[in-house]
Amino acid sequence: MKLFILPVLLSATTALASPIVGTWHCTSSDGIHQGDMRIKYISDGSFNGDVTVNVDIDDDSNNVLTYHLISTGKWRFENNTLTKSQIEFSDLSRHHSPETKAWLEKSEGARSVENMIHSMLNSMMGKATIEEDVQQLDKAGNLISEKDGFRKICTKVK
């Protein structure tokens, strides 16, 4: 019995003492889309996030497609590396500006692209991802990741 309780206590203590526990604000971009996220890391090793994704499909105007998603999953922190797994998205909704909505009504091509992006995001709903999301804690206390031109920076807010 003692052999079982000790590892459980040690892992609980590690999560409670982790610099990751709390609320973080993240921004991400890859040139075409930008993300703005609030992620709460809970001491039990789970997280929940509120994500806004902006996709710029029209270089000639300020029309940006905006989507909102909720995410949940698991996390672990070892050797200054945060690894998120079992990431699942839910509650996809469109949050386009009135100007973008008017543009979509006028442009069949824009509507087609918007429907394709919405369909792609919708296909992720309710399915846990297989790929893990990995970020490094830098000396300033920020979580950083960069992969294939996609850069994400997270700052702890509380």
- As a three-state string, the secondary structure of the chain is CHHHHHHHHHHHHHHHHCCCCEEEEEEEECCCEEEEEEEEECCCCEEEEEEEEEEECCCCCCCEEEEEEEEEEEEEEECCEEEEEEEEEEEEEECCCHHHHHHHHHCHHHHHHHHHHHHHHHCCECCCCCCCEEEEECCCCCEEEEECCEEEEEEECC
- 58 — pLDDT class (breaks 50, 70, 90): confident
- 57 — pLDDT class (breaks 50, 70, 90): confident
For 12-30, the pLDDT digits (tens) are 444 556 899 999 999 998 8
Q: Rounded mean pLDDT of the chain? A: 86
Q: In this predicted model, which residue has the larger pLDDT, 70 or 1?
A: 70
Mean pLDDT value across residues 101-117: 93
Domain boundaries, the chain: 2-156
Confidence check: pLDDT of 1 > 70: no
pTM of the model: 0.80
